Amino acid sequence: MAASDSMMTPHMETLLDKVDSKFSLVTLAARRARDLQQYYSRDGMVSNKVIPPQVPSLRKPLSMGFEEIAVDKIVRVSGEEMAERRAAEEAARADAEAAFAQAAADAAAEGEPAAD
Residue 5 has pLDDT above 60, yes or no: no
According to the model, what pLDDT value does residue 46 have?
Answer: 64
Q: Which of 58, 42, 24 is nearest to 50 (CA)?
A: 42
Q: How far apart are CA 54 and CA 30, in angstroms?
A: 15
pLDDT tens digits, one per residue of 17-63: 888 889 989 999 999 999 888 887 766 666 667 777 888 878 888 88
According to the model, what pLDDT value does residue 73 have?
Answer: 87
Produce one character per residue of 51-78: b if its CB has 16 or more CB atoms within 10 Å, e if not.
Answer: eebbbebebebbbbbbbbbbeeebeeee
According to the model, what pLDDT value does residue 42 have?
Answer: 64
